[in-house]
Amino acid sequence: MINLSILVEASAQDYPADVAVIFNDRTLTYAELNAAANMFANALTKMGIGKGDKVAVMIPNLPYFPIAYFGILKTGATVVPFNVLFTAREVAYHLQDSDAVALIGFAMFAEPAVDGFNQIDTCRHLVVGSADPNQPFSHNSENVYDFNQFLGLGGSPVFDTVQTSSNDPAVILYTSGTTGSPKGAQLTHSNMVMNAKGCADLLDIKHGDIALATLPLFHSFGQTVIMNASFLAGATISLLPRFTPDAALGIMQRDDVTVFAGVPTMYWALYSYPGAEEQFDIQKISDNLHTAVSGGSSMPVELMRNFEERFTVPILEGYGLSETSPVASFNVRRKPRKPGSIGAPIWGVQMALVDDNDNIIPSPTAADEFSEIGEIVIRGHNVMKGYYKKDESTAEVMSNNWFHTGDLAKVDHEGYYFIVDRKKELILRGGFNVYPREVEEYLMTHPKISLVAVKGVPDDKWGEEVKAYVVLNQGESATADEISDYAKEGLAAYKYPRYIEFRSELPMTATGKILKRALVEED
């Protein structure tokens, strides 16, 4: 029996007076964080929420997030993190699909949360954290509570944590392939605990460390690699809800940050921030940092070299997916790093390459530079239990006990993997996953659009940007701004296409499938 909430409970026992969370001038010790999570768990229990239930969390990097996250876990319920940029349509879809009985949100994003909540009868409770604790959130809808008032309903800071099986789902993280709607990857208590332990070891996070938490905690990267790994180690996280280079550098200097994790665009912003040397003590920041981690998309070698030269800290790249908790492979300190590589499998995880017939591709010998290119498959303690309520989708990615990632790679004779392409048409925009099929399906609801294809195009700032190729219905006319405004109404800010190109037709294969490769070749 194990419950993911043990990460906080054990550190509260070992380091009760030590700071767990920093947010601006506010701090929470481990004892205070654990007590607040207990109060939240008591309040949920009074609402009849417990083991087997699903509770959605739509909160940015604020103290509300870990309080709600671990409070939910303590009841035996499952946490379902939502992106705070979801529109009302997306909130409603995810509430319905996950069977969430409650939604925990934040005032700044309350409008889509409330609108989505009101569309789903089975979601019975909405709890909203206010921007100012002295001004509670109020709304005329029924079953809507202010976060701090909800804590008060819980009353007691003592709670007897519900014992869960290691194979019970702790978290459902929503992801998607290039076909169909977003799917919820069920990650068990064992999945999450093991990945947090692995990350703490790989990043050398220890008691006394301070990690900057600017990667969204609702995303698997920030949630496991920073929050959970830090809490397991008894370290401190300093919360930054919205990344800007000046804010990040300011917190690094103020809080003596020792661990930083980010996507390549964040490293680019930190390195290229004008006047950084005049505004901040870069020497102090560099002296404190002992670990920097990159993921989400490939780190350009030149950027890695430039950042490491200025901040004198090695950048360690890793790889994973929501379905793998997320970390599957990593570059480690004890072995030479290979720029451009996603490293080797972490402890307890196996990776291999398979061909189109699902046959394992042999590893290269020392005389060969690389293996043949194949699809990465993964098995181990980090692989999800399956997609929630989607057995067919689970069966599609699980074959011969291997999880099929859809990513194409090659491996060298020392076991380092190198991504060469994405079998899936996933777009990685600034570290966020954008799934073309979801964007296409929404744009197809526009009354003037006949056909649409969405692809990622290279972008210096975001790595990839979203582009839509649009064919209008005969006799119709539209502007790019008109289509863009429509996309903004139903898609999160990171999903809607920044580039829109009108075409009279789209290239097709002989079987009638859109040939997206030809679209790029024609640009």
What tens digit of pLDDT does each residue of 380-428 get?
999 999 999 999 999 999 998 999 998 889 999 999 999 876 666 778 8
Q: In this structure, are residues 405 and 378 in contact, taking their beta carbons and an 8 Å threshold? A: yes
Lowest mean pLDDT among 161-170, 379-388, 498-507: 498-507
Q: Which residues pair with 419 in a beta bridge?
A: 409
pLDDT at residue 520 above 80?
Answer: no
d(C-alpha 428, C-alpha 34), whole Å = 35
Q: In this structure, are residues 349 and 328 in contact, taking their beta carbons and an 8 Å threshold? A: yes
pLDDT at residue 152 above 60?
Answer: yes
Please tell me the predicted confidence (pLDDT) of residue 367.
Answer: 79
pLDDT at residue 523 above 90?
Answer: no
What tens digit of pLDDT does each residue of 13-49 get?
999 999 999 999 999 999 999 999 999 999 999 999 9
Q: In this structure, are residues 362 and 371 in contact, taking their beta carbons and an 8 Å threshold? A: yes
pLDDT at residue 151 above 70?
Answer: yes
Structural domains in the chain? 28-187 (3.40.50.980), 338-424 (2.30.38.10), 427-522 (3.30.300.30)
pLDDT at residue 312 above 90?
Answer: yes
Q: What is the 3-state secondary structure (H, E, C) of 474-522?
A: CCCCCCHHHHHHHHHHHCCCCCCCCEEEECCCCCECCCCCECHHHHHHH
Q: What is the mean pLDDT of residues 104-118?
A: 96
Please tell me the predicted confidence (pLDDT) of residue 245.
Answer: 95
521: pLDDT confidence band, cut at 50, 70 and 90?
A: low
515 versus 228: the higher-pLDDT residue is: 228
Burial class from Cβ neighbours inside 10 Å (0-12, 13-18, 19+) for residue 137 reads buried
State which of 157-161, 316-320, 338-342 shows the largest mean pLDDT. Answer: 157-161
Q: How far is CA 114 from CA 61, 80, 144, in A?
A: 20, 17, 9
- The pTM score is 0.86
Burial class from Cβ neighbours inside 10 Å (0-12, 13-18, 19+) for residue 153 reads middle
Please tell me the predicted confidence (pLDDT) of residue 522.
Answer: 61
Q: What is the mean pLDDT of residues 424-444?
A: 83
- The residue count of the chain comes to 523
Please tell me the predicted confidence (pLDDT) of residue 511.
Answer: 40
Q: Do you find a cis peptide bond into 507, omega within 30 degrees of 0?
A: no
What tens digit of pLDDT does each residue of 91-104 get?
999 999 999 999 99
Q: In this structure, are residues 345 and 381 in contact, taking their beta carbons and an 8 Å threshold? A: no
In three-state secondary structure terms, 200 is: helix
Q: What is the mean pLDDT of residues 188-199?
A: 98
Q: What is the mean pLDDT of residues 165-174?
A: 97
Positions of E strands within 283-388: 291-294, 315-320, 327-330, 344-345, 349-354, 374-380, 386-387
Please tell me the predicted confidence (pLDDT) of residue 510.
Answer: 47
Please tell me the predicted confidence (pLDDT) of residue 38.
Answer: 98
Phi and psi at residue 385, to the nearest 5°? -70, -30
Q: How far is CA 213 from CA 229, 318, 323, in A?
A: 11, 17, 22
Q: In this structure, are residues 80 and 98 in contact, taking their beta carbons and an 8 Å threshold? A: yes
Q: Name, in order, each residue with C-beta under 8 angstroms of 344's C-beta and a sequence gap of 6 or more.
A: 329, 330, 331, 332, 335, 351, 414, 415, 416, 417
Q: What is the 3-state secondary structure (H, E, C) of 275-301?
A: CHHHHCCHHHHHHHCCEEEECCCCCCH
**Mean pLDDT, rounded, of the chain:** 92
Nearest to 61, CA basis, from 24, 98, 94: 24
Burial 393-404 (b: 16+ CB within 10 A, else e): bbeebbeeebbb
- Report the DSSP pairing between strands 327-330 and 315-320: antiparallel
Nearest to 92, CA basis, from 117, 111, 110: 117
